[in-house]
Amino acid sequence: AQSVSQHNHHVILSEAASLELGCNYSYGGTVNLFWYVQYPGQHLQLLLKYFSGDPLVKGIKGFEAEFIKSKFSFNLRKPSVQWSDTAEYFCAVIRGGGADGLTFGKGTHLIIQP
Amino acid sequence: NAGVMQNPRHLVRRRGQEARLRCSPVKGHSHVYWYRQLPEEGLKFMVYLQKENIIDESGMPKERFSAEFPKEGPSILRIQQVVRGDSAAYFCASSPAYREETQYFGPGTRLLVL
């Protein structure tokens, strides 16, 4: 069975710091990759996604992620975080040709200190 | 456009009672997914439905849990004879046409079993 690992469960940064959240998945076949964000009191929202093409994808609010197939990774980055980025971040994978749903990592709780 | 709607947002049940969770997908979406999130865990896939069909229920417990997505009306996740371990957040998502597309999530139903 496929799995998704997010390396950091809790991250605390100061405003304007750079962010990188790690995500690795275990499935060797075709995958679509997603990062979702859950702001306090709100539901999951899509940050960005990778289906094919350029492995560097840009999402909303200045976030980007790079798909490195050889490393089975899809790390999320932002050059300069803001207080409003405080949220829970989830990496998710769906395998091509299957019939099941998304496989999620356990999430990273990001706290930005003003 | 209205997003995915779920109700109730909070549900309290005593052990042995039944819980019914409802999900209305984004208008025009024909694919519905249910996920469960336990405390300190990521979301876990439960079941994938299209109108009047269960496509994959590999993540659903074999007993007490059932799901449907009728031709008319919302999708229903039904938990019979609830136990304390069923306490969790249950999220519904929908996608437009095929499984690998972006899934849009509802706000979730928080189930508490006393």
B73-107 pLDDT per residue, tens = 999 999 999 999 999 999 999 998 776 788 999 99
What is the secondary structure of B15-52 as a DSSP string? TT--EEEEEEPPTT--EEEEEEE-TTS-EEEEEEEETT
Answer whether A4's CB lies under 8 Å from A97's CB: no
pLDDT band at B43 (very low <50, low <70, confident <90, very high): very high
The answer to whether B99 contacts A90, with C-beta atoms less than 8 Å apart, is no
* Chain B residues with beta carbon closer than 8 angstroms to that of A92: 43
Kindly tell me the burial class for residue B49, based on how many C-beta atoms sit within 10 Å of its own C-beta (0-12, 13-18, 19 or more).
buried
Q: Return the residue of A nearest to B55 by Cα.
A: A99
Lookup result for tokens 């209205």: B2
pLDDT at B97: 76
A24-57 pLDDT per residue, tens = 999 888 899 999 999 988 889 999 999 999 999 9
Kindly tell me the burial class for residue A51, based on how many C-beta atoms sit within 10 Å of its own C-beta (0-12, 13-18, 19 or more).
middle
Rounded Cα–Cα distance for residues B31 and A35 (Å): 20
The parts of chain A modelled with pLDDT lower than 70 are none
B24-41 pLDDT per residue, tens = 999 989 999 999 998 878
Asked if pLDDT for residue B1 goes beyond 70, the answer is no
